[in-house]
C-alpha cells in the first residue's frame, strides 16, 4: 500500500494530467530530484510566450508566470535555506528577457546563445553548481543540449510538433510535458507542479498572501541580487556589464 506521501503524489499527478500534462518520469522520482534542486534555468521564446516576433514586436512575459517563478524560488528557499540560482538562457537578443531577469532579480541572463549545453557547463564551473541539481524549462530543438545536461527537465507543450515531442520522449530528454502552451501560462503550470512535488505549495501561498516574516526575509535576499548579464560572441561567453 502506498504511504501518505505516495498518495499525495498520485493525487498531484492526476491533477496535472487532467490539465493535459504528461509525466515521462513518475511523479515520485521527479519529487526526489526536485527536492535536491538548487538551480533553475529557463528558455525564453516559446516558454514565457508563444514565440511570435516581428515588426519590432518582441516576445513578452505574463504576470502569472512571473508570480510562479517567484513562488517557486521562495519554496526552494524555504526548503534549503538558500536562495536558488536562477537564469534565463535565450538563443536570441531578447530585451524583454533581459528586463524580466533584472526585474525579478534572477542570478544571470544569457542572450544570443548558440549552444545552451555549454552554458550549463559554464554555470557548473563558475557557480559551483551540480548539473544533476539543475532544473530546466524548454520547448525546442536548440534547447536539447541544455536538457541533456540537467537533472530535471520540463518541456513546454506545442501540439504542432508531434514528431519533436516523440523524439524528446524516446531520447529521455524530458520528465514532464506541460498541458498548457507557452502562450497560456505554461511556466506557472511548471512552477505549481514543482512546488507540489516538494510539498511546499500551501505554505508558500499562505506565507506570500500574509507577507509574513519568512516571506520578507526571502524577498530582502532576492532583491539584493544584482543580475549578471552575458552573451555568447564567437563561441566565447562575454559579460555585457
pLDDT, tens digit (0-9, with 9 covering 90-100), for 38-59: 999 999 999 999 988 877 667 8
In a domain, 187, yes or no: yes
In a domain, 237, yes or no: no
In a domain, 30, yes or no: no
pLDDT, tens digit (0-9, with 9 covering 90-100), for 138-171: 999 999 999 999 999 999 999 999 999 999 999 9
In a domain, 157, yes or no: yes
In a domain, 154, yes or no: yes
The CATH number linked to 138 is 3.40.50.1000
Say whether pLDDT at 241 is over 80: no
| Interval 100-125 mean pLDDT | 95
| Interval 183-203 mean pLDDT | 97
How many angstroms separate the CA atoms of 71 and 220, rounded? 14
Structural domain range at position 64: 36-231
Say whether pLDDT at 3 is over 70: no
Which whole-number Å values give the CA distances from 163 to 115, 158, 160, 167, 200, in the listed order? 22, 11, 9, 6, 35
The pTM for the full model equals 0.95
In a domain, 199, yes or no: yes
In a domain, 139, yes or no: yes
In a domain, 60, yes or no: yes
Say whether pLDDT at 5 is over 80: no
What confidence category does residue 1 fall into, taking pLDDT thresholds of 50, 70 and 90? Answer: very low
The C-alpha cell 563558475 sits at: 126
- Residue 69, pLDDT score: 98
Average pLDDT, the chain: 94
Total domains present in the chain? 1
Strand-strand pairing, 39-42 and 85-89: parallel
Note whether 119 and 110 are within 8 A (CB).
Answer: yes
Amino acid at each position: 500500500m502506498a504511504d501518505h506521501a505516495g498518495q499525495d503524489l498520485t493525487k498531484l499527478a492526476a491533477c496535472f494530467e487532467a490539465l493535459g500534462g504528461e509525466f515521462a518520469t513518475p511523479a515520485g522520482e521527479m519529487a526526489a530530484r526536485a527536492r535536491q534542486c538548487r538551480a533553475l534555468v529557463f528558455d525564453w521564446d516559446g516558454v514565457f510566450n508563444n514565440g511570435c516576433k516581428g515588426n519590432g514586436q518582441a516576445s513578452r512575459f505574463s504576470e502569472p508566470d512571473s508570480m510562479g517563478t517567484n513562488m517557486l524560488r521562495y519554496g526552494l528557499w524555504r526548503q534549503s535555506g538558500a536562495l536558488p540560482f536562477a537564469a534565463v538562457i535565450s538563443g536570441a537578443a531578447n530585451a524583454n528577457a533581459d528586463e524580466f531577469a533584472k526585474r525579478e532579480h534572477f542570478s544571470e541572463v544569457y542572450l544570443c546563445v548558440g549552444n545552451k549545453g555549454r552554458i550549463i557547463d559554464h554555470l557548473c564551473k563558475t557557480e559551483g553548481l551540480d548539473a544533476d541539481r539543475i532544473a530546466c524549462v524548454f520547448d525546442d530543438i536548440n534547447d536539447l543540449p541544455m536538457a541533456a545536461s540537467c537533472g530535471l527537465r520540463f518541456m513546454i507543450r506545442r501540439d504542432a510538433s508531434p514528431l519533436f515531442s516523440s523524439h524528446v520522449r524516446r531520447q529521455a530528454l524530458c520528465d514532464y510535458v506541460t498541458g498548457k502552451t507557452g502562450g497560456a501560462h505554461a511556466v506557472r503550470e511548471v512552477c505549481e507542479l514543482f512546488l507540489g512535488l516538494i510539498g511546499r505549495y500551501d505554505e508558500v501561498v499562505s506565507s506570500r498572501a500574509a507577507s509574513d516574516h519568512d516571506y520578507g526575509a526571502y524577498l530582502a535576499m532576492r532583491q539584493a541580487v544584482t543580475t549578471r548579464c552575458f552573451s555568447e560572441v564567437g563561441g566565447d561567453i562575454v559579460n555585457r556589464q
